Structure 1
């Protein structure tokens, strides 16, 4: 029998990868989806913001659902929402696209709280950050698979068939996660909390903010997470459209750029998690990483016209740095939180951080709409990251430890 922590990591990595693959097709198909909905290409930023809004909705009120069903069942329900949302989003109706985006976001929500709960309970303490980073590596791994697979699927089978294959993959994930339910859900499921009412409760949102005062460094860590989320959301939502509309890349070429970026992120999350376990001081580490990430984004803007190899190098560097922070972030949240509040703190901090994932693409889309220049949007995202990174580094140095 597998050690419990291996089962927990396997379940969370499986669902994280599949849900990220399904969600990852959305920005890649941005020009097609927006054309079908009679929207301009930068409208994919509004879709990205609504996905994050749905994610925040779950994080604000989904705690009782997690307690009621258990973490694995919650992950399975999330995959069902992703599949349904993707089907609705793919319809050539503007309003349906918006509703589908929110459903996809709700479906992604359990990955954070359920994964944190299982891994903190089971992971060996000396390898905690590495284990969290491996789990978070499922996000870029799924994105890389999307980057490789989407263009061939659309080219050979057509858009509708490609969407159905992605939906079927999400539904298959539900079945693959089922064997993990017995060992991982039996201790936590079955409470009689009114989980459905909590999803529509303003009080749940207020409670989620209150738990962030349980450690003196949690507010700073949360704000840095919001800043990192702004940049990550803008990169994820707009890079493919940027390369297609401004640098004449084909859908297949844009998919390769995204695949390289996400593959580098897999490497970055695991490697940086290993380093963080040995160096400690995760908040300071994240502050430095934020500044380096901003530099990588600036390089992409400066060298995108220098040929494909320069662009590939830049997107790889962005993937390693700007998309490689999540595992360290969630491990730090779990380490700072009181043990009984780990899931609540992870959800609350992610909720606040994801405000950036909503606002970032919205502001980016407005900048592009006003100026016609994607580069200004990317540079604005990088600039705010430098500011927050330096402030977080200074805060960590002033605290002496984090």
Structure 2
């Protein structure tokens, strides 16, 4: 039987372009902070490791906004909401560019609210428009916006520092986000259905979270994503500082290695998304990725001071591909355990745990550094978490009961 969502003017490539572009820009904006930190933090009178507080604050607000995105999608439409994502991220970048700690944290909060809305809104858009035979591939392509955004940040932000200064670089990023919001104006009518549901209640976020916790498959996926996101954000936030401040590599070299890791990650995400659609269970792929993630974090932690460039490149590429290569497979597995009509709510609920891990990872590493431990020690801790989560994901799980996540109404 044909899915009614697909029978109604499905536009898969337009949907992919819109969601991929927004994911790319939102990621570029948020990942600029750790690239800027070694050069900018001293100018603001802050230690570079305090970038973890900025990233952690952003993910704290992303956790909350993701929980209510299902309701926002019902009221506003997913594409209209995606426009507001770009406005929030651009406004947050502008606020952070003025420098004092209170504005840095306010900017992080605005960027986090926008970033937390990206995935649930995209899930609603792609759930309606992606081809039924390859939804995992389309989600993987959309998720490739994360490593591409990080790679562009690693390549363009150092250039911006030299040519525009750090504030000019941040203003350019903000302008790109606001321009994207304007370009989405004619897309809204083509991707969003005309009907809107305004029946959502203020307690929707709580019912969404409860539904995720009652669903065995979603509960395990959410907890595993917590550990994986800790490793992902720990890698993104502190790898440049590890290479420059502990191992003595130039900032430009470290940023280029981060960019190279994102190229590898992009390929891994797309390939594994297709593999999860066609041949190997996404559950198995997620488990194996956790074990590979642990090995790569250990390799990164073992790099000696002044490492040979090929050795550092190999460790960074492996860590980037594994700590950031799991997201497309994650959505492929999510698609197998919830109906498409519930993707926005389920993605927002599970994302609460994912972003909690994204918040906890930088905070944990920042505190370990504050206690006098090394960056290497932090990556050993992340390796242990990744290994434990990978093993948990590989364990068989009984088929979950039918738990509905569409919590915008109390009606069945």
Q: Distance in 1 between matches of 2:123 and 2:335?
A: 7
How far residue 33 of structure 1 moved from its aligned partner, in angstroms, is 4.0
> What do residues 26-54 of structure 1 show as CA deviations (whole Å, max 9, x unaligned)?
11112244334422111111111101011
Q: What residue is the counterpart of 1:15 in the other structure?
A: 22
- Please, what TM-score do these two structures have when normalized by structure 1? 0.92
> What do residues 185-212 of structure 1 show as CA deviations (whole Å, max 9, x unaligned)?
1345x44357xxx7xx5x3332121221
Q: What residue is the counterpart of 1:238 in the other structure?
A: 238
Q: Distance in 2 between matches of 1:59 and 1:243?
A: 33
Q: Alpha carbons of 1:191 and 1:7: their partners in 2 closer, same or farther (altered >3 Å)?
A: same
> What do residues 6-41 of structure 1 show as CA deviations (whole Å, max 9, x unaligned)?
111111011111211222211111224433442211
Number of residue pairs aligned between Structure 1 and Structure 2: 391
Q: Alpha carbons of 1:297 and 1:183: their partners in 2 closer, same or farther (altered >3 Å)?
A: same
> Whose helix proportion is higher, 1 or 2?
1
Q: What residue is the counterpart of 1:356 in the other structure?
A: 357
* Worse-superposed segment, 214-223 or 385-394: 214-223
* 1:50 and 1:98 in contact (8 A); partners too: yes
Q: Report SS of the residue matched to 2:235.
A: helix
Q: What residue is the counterpart of 2:32 in the other structure?
A: 25
> What do residues 353-394 of structure 1 show as CA deviations (whole Å, max 9, x unaligned)?
221111121111111111331100111011011011112102
Q: Which runs of 5+ in 1 are unaligned?
A: none
Q: What residue is the counterpart of 2:366 in the other structure?
A: 365
The reply on whether 1:123 has 2:124 as its aligned counterpart is no
- Please, what TM-score do these two structures have when normalized by structure 2? 0.90
Q: What residue is the counterpart of 1:300 in the other structure?
A: 300
Q: What residue is the counterpart of 2:391 in the other structure?
A: 390
How far residue 130 of structure 1 moved from its aligned partner, in angstroms, is 0.9
Q: What residue is the counterpart of 1:340 in the other structure?
A: 341
In the TM superposition, 1:128-143 aligns within 5 A as 128-143=135-150
Q: Report SS of the residue matched to 1:124.
A: coil
How far residue 116 of structure 1 moved from its aligned partner, in angstroms, is 0.7
* 1:36 and 1:93 in contact (8 A); partners too: no
Q: Distance in 1 between matches of 2:289 and 2:331?
A: 15
Q: Distance in 2 between matches of 1:87 and 1:255?
A: 23
Q: What residue is the counterpart of 1:73 in the other structure?
A: 80
How far residue 223 of structure 1 moved from its aligned partner, in angstroms, is 0.9
Q: Alpha carbons of 1:27 and 1:171: their partners in 2 closer, same or farther (altered >3 Å)?
A: same
The reply on whether 1:375 has 2:382 as its aligned counterpart is no
Q: What residue is the counterpart of 1:192 in the other structure?
A: 198
* 2:96 and 2:106 in contact (8 A); partners too: yes
Aligned partner (choices 60, 80, 89) of residue 82 of structure 1: 89
Q: Distance in 2 between matches of 1:78 and 1:333?
A: 23
Q: What residue is the counterpart of 2:216 in the other structure?
A: 216
In the TM superposition, 1:145-156 aligns within 5 A as 145-156=152-163
Q: Report SS of the residue matched to 1:217.
A: helix
* 2:93 and 2:171 in contact (8 A); partners too: no
* 1:264 and 1:320 in contact (8 A); partners too: yes
Q: Report SS of the residue matched to 2:249.
A: coil
* 1:88 and 1:100 in contact (8 A); partners too: yes
How far residue 90 of structure 1 moved from its aligned partner, in angstroms, is 2.2
Q: What residue is the counterpart of 1:315 in the other structure?
A: 316
Q: What residue is the counterpart of 1:93 in the other structure?
A: 100
Q: Alpha carbons of 1:61 and 1:33: their partners in 2 closer, same or farther (altered >3 Å)?
A: farther
* 2:276 and 2:332 in contact (8 A); partners too: no
Q: Report SS of the residue matched to 2:316.
A: helix
* 1:114 and 1:343 in contact (8 A); partners too: yes
Q: Distance in 1 between matches of 2:151 and 2:224?
A: 25
Q: Which runs of 5+ in 2 are unaligned?
A: 1-8, 401-412
How far residue 153 of structure 1 moved from its aligned partner, in angstroms, is 1.2
* 1:268 and 1:319 in contact (8 A); partners too: no
Q: Distance in 2 between matches of 1:205 and 1:193?
A: 14
Q: Distance in 2 between matches of 1:340 and 1:266?
A: 28
How far residue 105 of structure 1 moved from its aligned partner, in angstroms, is 0.6
Q: What residue is the counterpart of 2:269 in the other structure?
A: 269
Aligned partner (choices 177, 184, 191) of residue 184 of structure 2: 177
